[in-house]
Amino acid sequence: MATTTITKPETLVGKRIRRREDPRLITGTATYVDDIKLPGMYYAAILRSPHAAAQIKSIDISKAKALKGVAAVFIGKDTETAGAVPCAASLPGLRVPYHNLLALDRVYLVGHPVAVVVATDRYIARDGVELIEVDYEPTAAVADPEKALEPGAPAVHPQWADNIAYTFHQEGGNTAQAFAEADVVVKQRIVSQRVIPNALEGRAVVADWRAAERSLTLFTSTQAPHGVRSIVAQILGLEENRFRVVAPEVGGGFGSKMQVYAEEILMSYISMRLNKPVKWIESRRETALCTIHGRGHVDFYEIAAKRDGTITGIKLKIIQDLGAYFTLMTPAMPTLSVMMMPGLYRTANVAADIVGVFTNCTPTDAYRGAGRPEATHGIERMIDMLAVELKMDPAEIRLKNFVRNEEFPFATATGLLYDSGDYAAPLHKAMDMVGYEKLRQEQAAARAEGKLMGVGISAYGEICAFGPSPATPAGGWESASVKVEPSGKVTALVGVSSHGQGHETTFAQIVADELGIDIDDILISHGDTALVQYGIGTFGSRSTAVGGTALYFALQELKPKIKKFGAVLLESDDVTFSGGQVTCNKTGKSVGFKAVAASAYRAMKLPPNTEPGLMATYFWEPPNFTFPFGAHICVTEVDRETGAIRLVRYVAVDDCGNILNPLIVDGQVHGGVAQGLGQALWEQAVYDDSGQLITGEFTDYVMPRAHMMPWIESAHTVTPSPVNPLGVKGVGEAGTIGASPAVVNSVVDALSTLGIRHIDMPMTPEKIWKLIAGRTA
């Protein structure tokens, strides 16, 4: 019975395997929500408020209802029983506004949904929207969080005149003493402006209620299908076991799709009311107005230090622009910034205050990095300013203050336990790559010629792999099942839900290595609650460290059973399983994985105390977060005449522990850097004083295009995490977190000869030109 087929001797983890999901994506044959067409399906379009703040005096839907092809029109009072958009974050004293699905008597932001028209096609639905007459009485609005705090500012929610949703204070060590004894204190107001997540695919929903079966299927472009199912089921009183949520192909999310949005609840509700499938597809304008925004910080930093550059204390006050309402995690975002405020530095004394402020704007929530880019931007700008003050090299001051290798695991002043690190290693590597000393000489020569050349460093750390369950509202574990078919084909069902990250490749690499089988025999399945055991979802760069580990443990559960079935086939009780073979240790005879799989299902002769079949499930609770880190260096040249910034070199050295797939990790870093550069240089959600979003289209909102990107030279150092057996940390957000301070530090360095010490983002040519013109004059 023994075979000698060696199917796969080499290991795949650590190799640059091309993404297995790409052929269907780049040939346009993948199935997105908008590709789903169901018999008798209706289409929905949403009327949204043109005002940032207004009373609704009346709504006349009669003309819309009379339009041929319109099946129904819903307004606020029709959907009152359908509940509200949920917020899962809780903080002491938090004021949570009731976030209704459709406006009742007031609107609180431009884009506030007012009515839904359901029709036989999407064009009729849009025409129906045009026919609704709403009598609004506009009231004063406020779109700037600092102005919202001024006495007499318009109240976003009339019941809370001060516009304050909450305040929060956290302190570690003795900041008062640190500042009292400091040789030098540097202060700066730093803005991390509001930006708009723009995934290639906007949000999209198809809801299909089958009354006879009491079942609902919701196809939605989400990062967390199980979370959507639990929350929508609770809101609408649905039975979770008859409610299937499917995330088909998801064209990016960047955090914005980890939410439960009004449209997901509304379409489910409408499908149930009409007993018909109904589809809603977001327009680009709706993305800008109605999907969450990111960042929205005004930060006030103070940093205390000794003359030798030792940082002794950090104080931070964050004014967080929350928007008019909360989505799932809105109020929690700046608390993540507070957690990461010491960055990679040893400082034992920190004090932070947050003021969460309502404005008549789109809610802010998790956008790639979620709180950590703001924290990194702040501390990395402050370190540079301190270096200028102390006339130290920005690399030297960082190296002096980094947590030292022997101090890990390192307890921070904000209550975290950094798992592992060698913070100097990526900085040294990045400095080697750019030829730091020579670069500074070139800069001196360029300056002598009157050129504006800058070198900017950022050293970032991030908290990711969310996370131990006590630290996450819906649980921080992850799950995986491994199912072996009789033919030896293997399906891994993972609770995380990839939407561009490449899990179908990296997770298959784990399976291939652990089972010693061909990667083509493996299917990674995710994003369908009817197929996959419960999972938490993909966000916070957690999928590999938490979901990948759950998968690893599910595979370990399976191995003893594979051995048992192999032992029966080999008629031996002394076998090993490796490289896809069960081998008898005495005779050297072996049997291949496929034969073992077949025998487990044929079950002619079962091993003692063993049931037929080959399947294992594992739910893994991580003991801690993981803390990746890295160093980016950006070289810029600024044109004196136009203010244009040229990105001359960009070096990114990241450490995400052991690397499963360097090709994918580089891709993640490149994409992340693009978003960080977008924030640093071009992107901004600009509201006018009346609360109109004036950068709500791609003509005004400048996304980085391919030709605007520099060549990114990426490299890695490897410091395994002790938190999980794979030794991995997250990388999905790293590029974004490291990028913005590297670029801003570089441009400020370029302009430092003109006496410029800080520039807020985005550093548009106009802003830079005005700064230069002001100094030159």
Given a contact cutoff of 8 angstroms between Cβ atoms, the answer to whether 403 and 418 are in contact is yes
The residue written with tokens 């290693």 in the block is 425
Which of the ranges 35-43, 141-149, 526-534, 727-735 carries the binding residues for ligand MCN, by CB under 6 A? 727-735
CA–CA dist 232, 236 (Å, integer): 6
Which of the ranges 50-58, 79-87, 502-510, 741-749 carries the binding residues for ligand MCN, by CB under 6 A? 502-510
Which of the ranges 39-47, 477-485, 541-549, 697-705 carries the binding residues for ligand MCN, by CB under 6 A? 541-549
Binding mask 619-648 for ligand MCN (x = CB under 6 A): ------------------------------
List the one residue from 280, 418, 539, 701 that touches ligand MCN (CB under 6 A). Answer: 539
**For the residues of 583-602, what is the DSSP string, one character each?**
EETTT--EEEHHHHHHHHHH
Given a contact cutoff of 8 angstroms between Cβ atoms, the answer to whether 651 and 721 are in contact is no
The residue written with tokens 């050293």 in the block is 459
Answer yes or no whether residue 227 interacts with ligand MCN by CB under 6 A. Answer: no
List the one residue from 501, 590, 684, 695 that touches ligand MCN (CB under 6 A). Answer: 501
Report the residue number, 374 or 384, with the smaller CB distance to ligand MCN.
374
Binders of ligand MCN: how many residues, by CB under 6 A?
Answer: 35
List the one residue from 731, 737, 739, 768 that touches ligand MCN (CB under 6 A). Answer: 731
CA–CA dist 672, 370 (Å, integer): 13
Answer yes or no whether residue 543 interacts with ligand MCN by CB under 6 A. Answer: yes
Q: Which helix (H) or strand (E) element contains residue 564?
A: helix 549-570
Which of the ranges 252-260, 436-444, 577-585, 593-601 carries the binding residues for ligand MCN, by CB under 6 A? 252-260
List the one residue from 53, 490, 728, 744 that touches ligand MCN (CB under 6 A). Answer: 728
Report the residue number, 127 or 201, with the smaller CB distance to ligand MCN.
201
Given a contact cutoff of 8 angstroms between Cβ atoms, the answer to whether 284 and 268 are in contact is no
Answer yes or no whether residue 616 interacts with ligand MCN by CB under 6 A. Answer: no
CA–CA dist 659, 652 (Å, integer): 15
Answer yes or no whether residue 163 interacts with ligand MCN by CB under 6 A. Answer: no
- For residue 407, the tally of other CB atoms under 10 A from its CB is 12
| Amino acid code (one letter) for 679 | Q
Helices 372-389, 394-401: crossing angle, 10 deg rounding: 110
Answer yes or no whether residue 656 interacts with ligand MCN by CB under 6 A. Answer: yes
Burial class (CB in 10 A: 0-12, 13-18, 19+), 717: buried
**For the residues of 360-422, what is the DSSP string, one character each?**
SSPPB---TTTTHHHHHHHHHHHHHHHHHHTT--HHHHHHHHBPPGGG-SEE-TTS-EE----
Report the residue number, 384 or 655, with the smaller CB distance to ligand MCN.
655
- For residue 705, the tally of other CB atoms under 10 A from its CB is 9
Answer yes or no whether residue 538 interacts with ligand MCN by CB under 6 A. Answer: yes
Shortest spacing between CB 685 and ligand MCN, in angstroms: 18
Beta-strand relationship, 350-358 and 311-323: parallel
Shortest spacing between CB 731 and ligand MCN, in angstroms: 4
CA–CA dist 597, 540 (Å, integer): 36
Report the residue number, 67 or 663, with the smaller CB distance to ligand MCN.
663
Shortest spacing between CB 372 and ligand MCN, in angstroms: 10
CA–CA dist 183, 177 (Å, integer): 12
Shortest spacing between CB 626 and ligand MCN, in angstroms: 9
Shortest spacing between CB 637 and ligand MCN, in angstroms: 30
List the one residue from 112, 526, 542, 649 that touches ligand MCN (CB under 6 A). Answer: 542
Answer yes or no whether residue 541 interacts with ligand MCN by CB under 6 A. Answer: yes
Binding mask 170-209 for ligand MCN (x = CB under 6 A): -----------------------------x----------
Given a contact cutoff of 8 angstroms between Cβ atoms, the answer to whether 423 and 654 are in contact is no
Answer yes or no whether residue 276 interacts with ligand MCN by CB under 6 A. Answer: no
Beta bridge pairs of residue 583: 576, 590
Report the residue number, 252 or 630, with the smaller CB distance to ligand MCN.
252
Answer yes or no whether residue 466 interacts with ligand MCN by CB under 6 A. Answer: no
Given a contact cutoff of 8 angstroms between Cβ atoms, the answer to whether 220 and 247 are in contact is yes
* Site residues for ligand MCN per CB under 6 A: 199, 252-255, 368, 499-503, 506, 538-544, 656-661, 664-665, 668, 671, 728-733
